[in-house]
Amino acid sequence: MLTPKYPPQDTSPPATQPQTAAPVPAAEASASVAPVPPVSARPTIQLTPGSALALAAGGGAVVLVVGAVLVSLLLAVAITGVSVAVVAIVLRLLVNDLNKSR
């Protein structure tokens, strides 16, 4: 059901087309054909001043948001650690107080 279906293999030999035009001499071919500059395969990105400003503002906003999230996580871990330490001290004092009263 989900297997791919491939087209049948072409077993016939490739047909060769007869050459109808006479070859052009190299001197005439180079005189009539203008050189073509190489085309880059990569797309060209052009930044206008407005788009560069928007890109910088977007990057700054991302840095601020990520920084705020990381600082809030660090603050949550610090508050949790301090509260656990306070609870441990209170429990230790209570256990020591119970042991002394016996």
What would the pLDDT profile of 59-95 be if each residue is shown by its tens digit? 999 999 999 999 999 999 999 999 999 999 999 999 9
Sequence-distant (6+) residues with CB within 8 A of 47 are 55
Please check whether residue 81 is in contact with residue 74, taking contact to mean a CB–CB distance below 8 angstroms.
Answer: no
> Do the domain assignments include residue 80?
yes
> Do the domain assignments include residue 40?
no
> Do the domain assignments include residue 27?
no
pLDDT, tens digit, for every residue of 18-72?
Answer: 666 556 555 555 556 667 777 777 777 888 889 999 999 999 999 999 999 999 9
Query: Looking at the 3D structure of the chain, how many domains does it have?
Result: 1
Please report the sign of the dihedral spanned by the C-alpha atoms of residue 38, residue 40, residue 45, residue 47: negative
List the domain range (segments joined by +) for residue 88: 76-102
User: What is this structure's pTM?
Assistant: 0.47
> Do the domain assignments include residue 91?
yes
Spatial distance between the Cα atoms of 78 and 71, rounded to a whole number of angstroms: 10
Please check whether residue 91 is in contact with residue 98, taking contact to mean a CB–CB distance below 8 angstroms.
Answer: no
Half-sphere exposure of 47 (CA within 13 A, CB side): 7
